[in-house]
Amino acid sequence: MKYFSLLLFLIVFSSFQSDDIRKINFPVYREKVSQLPDKEDFWIFVLAGQSNMAGRGFVEPKDTVPDKRILSLGEDKEWYYAKEPLHFYQPDLTGLDCGLSFARELLKYVPDSISIGLIPCAVGGSSVEQWNNDSTHQDVVLLSNFKERVKSAQNQGMIKCILWHQGESDAHSGKIPLYKNGIETLFETFRNIAKNDTLPILVGELGTFREPVEVQLQVDSINSIIHESAAADKCRFVISTNDLTDKGDHLHFDSKSQREMGKRFADKYAEEVLGSFEMTK
């Protein structure tokens, strides 16, 4: 009997097209939040960058279990109880990102009164130059979209931090020398939009699984700039990804790594930003 069941599963599974398999666990319903938390108790985090922040991991059922204390800003700028995938800009590509795992981990560090809001703003393939120039990429006007979504949430909660993962699009010999100035300009713009000159920014390293070797060396150069820039900014912190794994394409983090990356973002925020707060709660 078990062999028949296995055969039936394989027949059904093989009948799916690749996109059907990718979306097999995507939620068919997202519940809109009827009443938001008090502003002071609603901590909002912005997810920005390119594809490894937008997410390309495989969504499993556990990634779609909502928590009433974790909200996500939808395409319509309404708040919903968060389920993966959070991003929606590239529906033919989007998958599991690190946002929900970040929020779940962060709940361990904050009082029960706190709810967490996530603003998805990452668009795959976007470069720092495109962000700074407010270019249209994948039908998204990058900086304007960031600004509109942050401003729509500012009166509802407290913008606490930006989670940034980007750099693969700039890991080319002609762009690398421009990356440091570009990222400094962009982060200053982000803080101006948020009206907070000391807004914490958490930056994830690029993956160390690129091929061929020449490409990985270029990625290593971007990672060096990420660390160098953060060292000069007391409100910017880097999370390590050098032991994380790709999904087989030598470019995007797999699901396990996305969940781990989210936890590391949360742990870093708790360590660097909530340190004194932690000791007094």
What is residue 20's predicted lDDT score, i.e. its pLDDT? 85
User: Residue 201 pairs with which residues in a beta bridge?
Assistant: 162, 236
pLDDT digits (tens, 9 = 90+) for 152-204: 999 999 999 999 999 999 999 899 999 999 999 999 999 999 999 999 999 99
pTM of the entire predicted model = 0.92
C-alpha span between 236 and 225 (Å, rounded): 13
| Contact between residue 45 and residue 15 where contact means Cβ atoms under 8 Å apart | no
Q: Rounded mean pLDDT of 203-228?
A: 96
| Contact between residue 161 and residue 198 where contact means Cβ atoms under 8 Å apart | no
Q: How far is CA 42 from CA 71, 72, 73, 114, 160, in A?
A: 9, 12, 13, 6, 9
- On the question of pLDDT at 276 being above 60, the answer is no
- On the question of pLDDT at 66 being above 80, the answer is yes
Domain 42-275, architecture per CATH: 3-Layer(aba) Sandwich (3.40)
What is residue 173's predicted lDDT score, i.e. its pLDDT? 86
User: Residue 49 pairs with which residues in a beta bridge?
Assistant: 165
C-alpha span between 202 and 17 (Å, rounded): 37
Residue 244 CA from chain centroid, whole number? 15
Share of residues in the chain with pLDDT > 70 (%): 91
pLDDT digits (tens, 9 = 90+) for 7-62: 444 444 444 457 789 999 999 999 999 999 999 999 999 999 999 999 999 999 99
Asked whether the CA dihedral 252, 255, 256, 261 is positive or negative, the reply is: positive
pLDDT digits (tens, 9 = 90+) for 220-245: 999 999 999 999 999 999 999 999 99
Q: Is 183 helix (H, G, I), strand (E, B) or coil?
A: helix
With CA atoms as reference, report the closest residue to 251 among 93, 88, 22.
Answer: 93
- On the question of pLDDT at 131 being above 80, the answer is yes
Average pLDDT of the chain to the nearest whole number: 93
What six digits make up the tokens of 143?
Answer: 């900086």
C-alpha span between 146 and 91 (Å, rounded): 18
- On the question of pLDDT at 1 being above 70, the answer is no
> Residue 96 gets which letter from DSSP?
B
| Contact between residue 273 and residue 161 where contact means Cβ atoms under 8 Å apart | yes
Domain ranges of the chain: 42-275
